[in-house]
Amino acid sequence: MEFRFEPNQQRLSDAQRADILAAPGFGQYFTDHMVTVDWTADLDGQAKAFEAGEYLKMVGDWSDARVEPYGPLAMSPAAAVLHYAQEIFEGLKAYRHEDGSIWTFRPYSNASRMNRSAHRMAMPQLPEDVFVKALEELMAQDGAWVPNGEGQSLYLRPFMIATEEFLGVRPARNFNFHVIASPAGNYFGGEPKPVSIWVSRDFARAGEGGTGSAKFGGNYAASLAGQLQGASRGHDQVIFLDRSPDDSLEELGGMNVFFVTKDNKLMTPRLTGTILEGITRDSILQLGAEQGLEVEERHITFDEWKDGVASGDIQEVFACGTAAVITPIGRVADGEEIYDTPSEDFPVANALLKRLVGIQTGAEEDTYGWMHRLA
């Protein structure tokens, strides 16, 4: 697929961009351009797929791939995304290496996950090579926006939305795929430090058979009430349970959770269909095995967390995701009960963070072939 280019005639000056990159925060500023690709359903082909029993196969064509000025989207007030929430997104980062080249981390894994999300949400799948080329095309124009400060990167946000103008409960027949980009510093601001977690018992993020494994905005919207409840009590994030009698752990509002035991085990809740299959999560499982840890994906209850912390069996707890990478969890609060993680320096979490960020930034050898050069 060929991408046409429409330059932004009002792009920021080098000085304006430098001021932003000096202290970018997270998700506050955006680059000069964005990517757009259109999709239109083939109704005859869709009908044949349906008759053949392939009821979630979306048949149609991607067209008019372009890099265009970043700016507001024009859509009808009746656009399907606004009423029936057909939208999905991804998140990954671009890193500037020492030689000035620009790289990203496991983009084909993001492309694959986006297509799994699309399948669950009855949306069209985007060829993985088009997903990656969209990133390359955007960086060919906006590569100067990739910062080079310690801990900094350019956050890339691919997303897909239903744009058909109609009111009615069925899959839309028109979609747009976009990529926007935002320079990023540390997700929680300043130097990474242990965060405090609130256990959500009044709200659930996802349910069995639902959309929990899709990177779908509704899952994040469902997490906001629990996050606000925790924040009102002085906590940084929230952990959700599966609402079963044994209170199995799922994930935080936007991150997966890991535990390190005194006998050198690295544990995380197994994927059940209600937990997002994090790419950082998968990478940490591989790096943990590389560093000699016994890796386990299994059913973990909240009682096991609090009892393990109380007994000293659990030495470290940390969260992970694209935005925050690895964040130590120093405290978990279940109502009025507080449980503090024994570790003060989080040696395992920090070793994994060093290795992972080292690969991403080019400071350490990429023995897994995870990095992809964008520009």
Q: Is residue 97 part of a domain?
A: yes
Q: Is residue 261 part of a domain?
A: yes
CA 55 to each of CA 122, 163, 173, 315, 368: distance values in angstroms, whole numbers, following the listed order:
9, 21, 14, 48, 37
Is residue 26 located within the same domain as residue 140? yes
Q: Is residue 189 part of a domain?
A: no
Q: Is residue 375 part of a domain?
A: no
Is residue 260 located within the same domain as residue 299? yes
The structural domain count of the chain equals 2
Q: Is residue 366 part of a domain?
A: no
CA 276 to each of CA 23, 122, 215, 269: distance values in angstroms, whole numbers, following the listed order:
30, 18, 7, 11
Is residue 227 located within the same domain as residue 309? yes
Is residue 176 located within the same domain as residue 294? no
Domain final residue pick, 184, 204, 237:
184
Is residue 63 located within the same domain as residue 207? no
Which pLDDT value is given to residue 268?
96
Q: What is the pLDDT along the chain (375 residues), one digit of tens a residue?
A: 999 999 999 999 999 999 999 999 999 999 999 999 999 999 999 999 999 999 999 999 999 999 999 999 999 999 999 999 999 999 999 999 999 999 999 999 999 999 999 999 999 999 999 999 999 999 999 999 999 988 899 999 999 999 999 999 999 999 999 999 999 987 655 556 899 999 999 988 888 888 888 999 999 999 999 999 999 999 999 999 987 777 888 888 889 999 999 999 999 999 988 888 999 999 999 999 999 999 999 999 999 999 999 999 999 999 999 888 999 999 999 999 999 988 889 999 999 999 999 999 999 999 999 999 999
Is residue 143 located within the same domain as residue 199? no
Domain final residue pick, 154, 184, 214:
184
Domain final residue pick, 159, 184, 209:
184
Which pLDDT value is given to residue 191?
56
Which pLDDT value is given to residue 188?
53
CATH number of 256's domain: 3.20.10.10
Q: Is residue 374 part of a domain?
A: no
Is residue 281 located within the same domain as residue 334? yes
Is residue 249 located within the same domain as residue 311? yes
Is residue 288 located within the same domain as residue 176? no
Is residue 200 located within the same domain as residue 291? yes
Which pLDDT value is given to residue 187?
62
Q: Is residue 370 part of a domain?
A: no
Q: Is residue 190 part of a domain?
A: no
Q: What domain range is 346 assigned to?
A: 195-361
Is residue 255 located within the same domain as residue 347? yes
Is residue 21 located within the same domain as residue 53? yes
CATH number of 77's domain: 3.30.470.10
Whole-angstrom distance, CA of residue 121 vs CA of residue 182 = 26
